[in-house]
Amino acid sequence: MYNGRKIAEGGALLALFSILLFLSVQIPLLGMPLFFFLPIPFILTAVKHDLGWSIGFLVVACCLSALFGTISAIPMTLLTGATGVTIGALIRRDKPAYMVYIGAVLILIIGIMAMYGAAAWFFNVNFIEDFIRLLRESVRRSMDMMAAMGQEVPETLTKQFNDWVTMLNTLLPALLVTTAMVMAGLIFLASHPFIKRFSEKKVSWPPFRELQLPKSLLWYYLITMVAGFFLRPEDGSYFYMVIANLLLVLQLLMLIQGYSLLFFFSHIKGWAKVVPVLILVFSLLLPFIQAFVRIAGIIDLGFPIRDVLRKKQQ
């Protein structure tokens, strides 16, 4: 009886996955939002059943993706399926929420790198080099178009565009990590209501305002900044790439800590919930507000500012 129910649930979840995959492949506008719902059948499977059954579920899903989608849909199935199985397996073992999140981020990074490597190895396609080449070609064409219209193109402008493309190429590792972090967060956001509704396992996420990153990150941030300022690595060198990527990731973490402090301050003062959300949105649009939020995050890690705020509130 149990095996029959198990197979029936697996069939229903496979049907759900096939529908989501078909819609994401056939309707491009739905492809991006539906991507974050694709791991849900795998999460629900891995939460209820052992790892062997979950891997078998993933294998069958890959076969179905070739039937209902295309061969190119198989990498998407592998990426979302492996992420979903990892999340579900960690939840089944009652791991804390942050470990589940870190596991999802790591699987996404590994999956994206594996897809990139497979494309370069088997199909001789380098997406990164092609993307950078298209950007440089786009910059060149834009400059030529401005010159053809009689507008003078300053050499400094052309140099700035080319430097921006070069910097983008340098920061690709950090951008990969950032992308994986955002993707994992959106997957959790999409799957949480389903986990809560269809599973006995619960993932307790503390309020964002209570987020406290390790204080050691502040030392890493300061050491990275000092190393970049005094050692002045040569542009394009390996050391330059390491410093630039570390700085970008650490600045992102300082920014997240700053947003946490913002929501904490809003909660202490009893502001409407929409106020910190609006500040967050405006900070994404206005760099100078974002800089203040990042500084607030640095102060929050370096000083017991929350304790001071609590005492004043009392």
| Domain count of the fold of the chain | 2
Same domain, residue pair 265 and 189: no
Same domain, residue pair 191 and 265: no
Residue 267: which residues within 8 A CB-CB, separation 6 or more?
Answer: 207, 209
Instruction: Report the distance separating Cα 108 and Cα 203, nearest Å.
Output: 20
Both tokens of residue 151? Answer: 């507008």
Same domain, residue pair 182 and 277: no
Is position 289 within any domain? yes
Is position 158 within any domain? no
Instruction: Report the distance separating Cα 241 and Cα 225, nearest Å.
Output: 13
Where in the sequence is the domain holding 280, given as residue range(s)?
209-313
Same domain, residue pair 193 and 257: no
Q: Output the pLDDT for position 84.
A: 94
Enter the pTM of the model.
0.81
Burial class (CB in 10 A: 0-12, 13-18, 19+), 199: middle
Q: What is the pLDDT of residues 211-252, one digit of tens each?
A: 888 888 899 999 988 888 887 777 767 777 888 888 888 999
The answer to whether 257 and 293 are in contact (CB under 8 A) is no
Question: Confidence band (pLDDT; 50, 70, 90) for 157?
Answer: low
Is position 139 within any domain? no
User: How far is C-alpha 138 from the geometric centre of its chain's CA atoms?
Assistant: 27
DSSP state of 233: P
Same domain, residue pair 188 and 229: no
Q: Output the pLDDT for position 58.
A: 92
Same domain, residue pair 181 and 307: no
201: helix, strand or coil: coil
Both tokens of residue 29? Answer: 């506008």
Q: Output the pLDDT for position 283.
A: 87
99: helix, strand or coil: helix
Is position 273 within any domain? yes
